[in-house]
Structure formats: C-alpha cells, structure tokens
Amino acid sequence: MDTAAFLDQLRGFTSAGAGTEALTDSGIPYLVNAFWTAGQRQGHSLHEISYRACFKPQLPGFFIDRLTAPGEAVLDPFMGRGTTPLQAALSGRRPLGNDINPLSLLMLRPRLAPPALGTLLRRLEAVPWDAPVAVREDLLAFYHPSTLRRLSALRAWLLREAPPERTDPDPVTDWLRMVALNRLTGHSPGFFSVYTLPPNQATSIADQQRINRTRDQVPPARDIIAIILRKSAQLLRDGPPGAHPPALLGVGPATAMGHVADAAAALAVTSPPFLDVVDYARDNWLRCWFAGIDPAPIPIAMHRTEAAWEAMVRASLAELARTVRPGGHVAFEVGEVRGGKLLLERLVWRAAEGLPFVRLAVMVNRQSFTKTAKCWGVDNNSRGTNSNRIVLLRRC
C-alpha cells in the first residue's frame, strides 16, 4: 500500500462505529481512533514474555501488514523484547533488530527459531543440578535455598555452554536461558521467586525484604524444570514462525547500526526510551546477573531534559534515514509521559525537520484498557500509558 492509500485508510477507519478524528494541533496533523485492539493476549503466543515498557504486537502488525510486502525487511533500532522483529518474522518479513542492551538479543533470538518442545526436557536433564556452585546469599530474599542452589547451577551451566557474547549458541540452550530469564521473579507460582511485583522488572533486595515482611511471606521451593517446561509450552502454543528471510540482529546504539546496510529496511517500527521514565539497568539487574552481563559499561541513556532526549531522537532518525529505503516508512511511537502533560510526539516532529523524511501525521491509538495501570492497581485512563502516539514519516 502506498503512502496516500495508507493515509486514506486511516482517515476512513472505523472502530466500534466511530470514525477517525482528524485535527491539527500546533501545526501537526493528528489522526485519532482505536486502530487496533486493546486485548492483551490476542497476538501470537511467542510474544508472551515480560519486559518493561513494551508495546503490543498489534502495533507493529498494523504497519507491517499495510506498508510492507512478504520478504521485505522491518527494522527496530530500540527492539527491547523484540516485538517488532518477531512480528516481522511471523508475517513473513525479514527481521532487523538492534538494542544497546545485550539482554534484548538474548530475549528475542531464541523465539525467532524455537526448538521443539520435546527436546527441552532432554536438555534440562543434562544440567548438572547437584554440582558444587557458588551461591549469592543475598538472593535468598527472592528464593528458597534449594531453588537458589539449583538456579545457580543452571546459571553456571548456561554460562559455560552459551556465554552471552557467543553469536551462535545451541538453539535449545539459548531457548532455556531466555525462558529462565523470563521466570526469575514474579507474582505467581509460575515464577521461581516468592511473590513480588511487577513481573517485568526486579525490585531491589532491600525492597523485596520489605515486601516479605509486609506480606509475612517466606520464599517457597519451586520446581525449576517444571516452570521452564510449562512456560515453554505456553510460548509454543501457537507454533513457530513460518518461513521468513533470515534475521539480522545487533547490539549497539540506535544511532550507529553498523550491521544494517544502507536502505535495507522497507519499514521501521520503534519506540525509544521515554526520557528518564524507565531505568533499564536498575530494572534488569537480576536478569543481567543471571545472564552474566555487567550492566555498568552499557551506556543506556537516561535523558533528564527534553533537549537531550530530542537530540537523541534526531540522531536516531538520522540513522533511520540511512537504513530505511526511499519510499519506506517509519512509525515512531512515544506513548505518554508525565500524565500526558508532555507530548513527546511534538519533540519527534521537530527532531525530524530537515532530515530526508516527509512528516505525514501523528497517529493516536486510543486504548480503553491499560495493563500497566491495572498491574499497579490504578484505574484505567487515570495514570500509566493510555494511548499510543506514533509519528508517521516517509523516507524521501
């Protein structure tokens, strides 16, 4: 679908009988509607892993289906848990991904080529669960002693068999690490830990100790093998991705994606960090420990000012101008911050000025349900991210 036809479709879109609201604010054209479902589990089961500040697969799917053809490449320079590249693979497109956090690669890569469920138990049985291993006693705030010892044995085995810097790990081992990273802490018996919230980030040890005191709880013993197999079965419920061109994934800044060739992508769908709203290093400290990653030297930026954030966005858009082909598109999602008082899409709109893009519109997807807000016990549409705000660009 070309740009004009796509914009016409957005303007004529109806949802529950409501048409798209078109308006102009501060010189920026807006198109507002419920363009995709707010359902939390209506995407492919392989998407169902926890990661802070991730968007629903329906968001990249909306653009992939309309603005690309099978076999074309779709890029996300801030891929996080990998929603865009995975959706690209599920849609028969070529996944191109990048993130400065090496955890992103470990979370996405195994789901692009998942192993058969039957092979997982045999590999888990090969883990030397009873081998002597060093144990971090401070993690007893989260885990029963027997669980922590076995978790430490699994970690040591994974670091020997598939160190995080290895680019071609065994797919089964790679999968087991991904699932374990996703089950480290959470709010139900489906996680290795005692009760803690939220499941997509690790609280500090001191905060977990306070949670334990407040709830009068003691970490129970967990069956690590059973939890990994159960989560694997859930993820594989809808089957593996179909045939698609090989993925190309990298670790590094979004402003210098050396692994992506000029004009390689037909579409980029992405969402950058929102100012200093999310501290990825702090949230992922436990996952980094388990994966053997030192987060200290990773330059994950926390932009304290609007000017610094806008400068980062402009540099990222300049790299997208290099990697997205002429006639291709960029969907740059920014959500809401500070209760909707700061409209980041205006900063993105300004950052794109003078770059080889046509600024088409800001597309606002209204949501009637907010999982993040519910997770924190906040009434819908009062706090949290209640709309997706996407700056649409076309590469000249």
Give residue-wise pLDDT tens across range 213-238: 999 999 999 999 999 999 999 999 99
Q: Looking at the whole model, is its pTM more than 0.75?
A: yes
Look at residue 386 and tell me whether its pLDDT is greater than 70. no
* Window from 72-76, 176-180, 293-297 with minimum mean pLDDT: 293-297
Interatomic CA distance for residues 82 and 64, integer angstroms: 14
Q: Give the pLDDT band of residue 301 (cuts 50, 70, 90).
A: confident
Point out which residues pair with 251 in neighbouring strands: 99
Residue boundaries of the structural domains of the chain = 117-235
CA-only gyration radius of the chain, Å: 21
Which has more confidence, 241 or 335?
Answer: 241
**Residue of 330, 322, 338, 349 lying closest to 385 (CA atoms):** 338
Per DSSP, the residues of 159-190 read: HHHS-TT-SS--HHHHHHHHHHHHTSSBSSTT
Strands 248-251, 94-99: pairing kind:
parallel
Mean pLDDT for the chain?
A: 91
DSSP conformational letter for 32? E
Distance from the Cα of residue 20 to its chain's centroid: 28
Give residue-wise pLDDT tens across range 372-385: 433 333 344 444 44
H or E segment at 74? strand 73-76
* Window from 37-41, 105-109, 197-201, 346-350 with minimum mean pLDDT: 37-41
Strands 94-99, 73-76: pairing kind:
parallel
> What pLDDT is stored for residue 41 in this prediction?
55
Q: Which residues lie below 8 Å from residue 366, measured CB to CB, with a gap of 6+?
A: 32, 33, 34, 386, 387
- The residue-averaged pLDDT of 109-118 equals 95
At 245, phi and psi to the nearest 5?
A: -60, 155
**Residue of 167, 178, 173, 331 lying closest to 247 (CA atoms):** 167
Strands 387-395, 324-333: pairing kind:
antiparallel
